Amino acid sequence: MQDTITIRGNLAADPEQRRISTGDTVTSFRVGTTARRRDKATGEWTDDETNWYQVSAFRTLGEHVFASLRKGHPVIVSGRLRLRTWESSTGKGMSADIEADAVGHDLRWGSTVYTRAARDDAGTEQPNGDAWAADASAGSAWATVVPGEARVLDEPAATAASEQESIHAPV
């Protein structure tokens, strides 16, 4: 039986990518999650133990993960949980593996820029393009955002944006 799980945590290292015998791409990375709680007696925040998950993302999702995520990035991962027991010369234990269905940056800690993968009529991903990009000359309500550029949508947002620092994760 496989259960669906969603976790929020940080990448322990840069993702690693490889091709398996079927020719499919698989990208693997570790995510650490640490619950924080406030000690009522002292008023200080303390960290609980860290849970570690080995995450695998296959095919196109894996390629996008490999291109988008780096060590330390805060992420949200949803997928199928598999608990696996292991034994070696140094001991035995249990690991928690997740086969990812969805992966993204945790936007509570910063912002990111999304680039849709372009596809041809057969559904094959095409490099360097956005098949659904809005044509700015057509007067579309959707604007194209260039990474690193701030966009002002309305006056209240402009005032709030000028008072806060903007963080952009690399893509």
pLDDT tens-place string over residues 151-167: 444 444 444 444 443 34
Q: What is the pLDDT of residue 114?
A: 84
Comparing 115 with 119, the larger pLDDT belongs to: 115
> For residues 167 and 161, is the Cβ–Cβ distance under 8 A?
no
Comparing 57 with 127, the larger pLDDT belongs to: 57
pTM score, whole prediction = 0.67
Calculate the average pLDDT of the chain: 79
User: May I ask the CATH class of domain 1-109?
Assistant: mainly beta
Q: Which amino acid is at 18?
A: R
Token couple for 4: 């669906």
pLDDT tens-place string over residues 19-71: 999 989 999 999 999 998 998 999 999 999 999 999 999 999 999 999 999 99
Backbone angles phi, psi at 111, to 5 degrees: -120, 165
Comparing 25 with 124, the larger pLDDT belongs to: 25
Residue 136 has pLDDT above 80, yes or no: no
* Cβ burial, residue 38 (10 Å; 0-12/13-18/19+): exposed
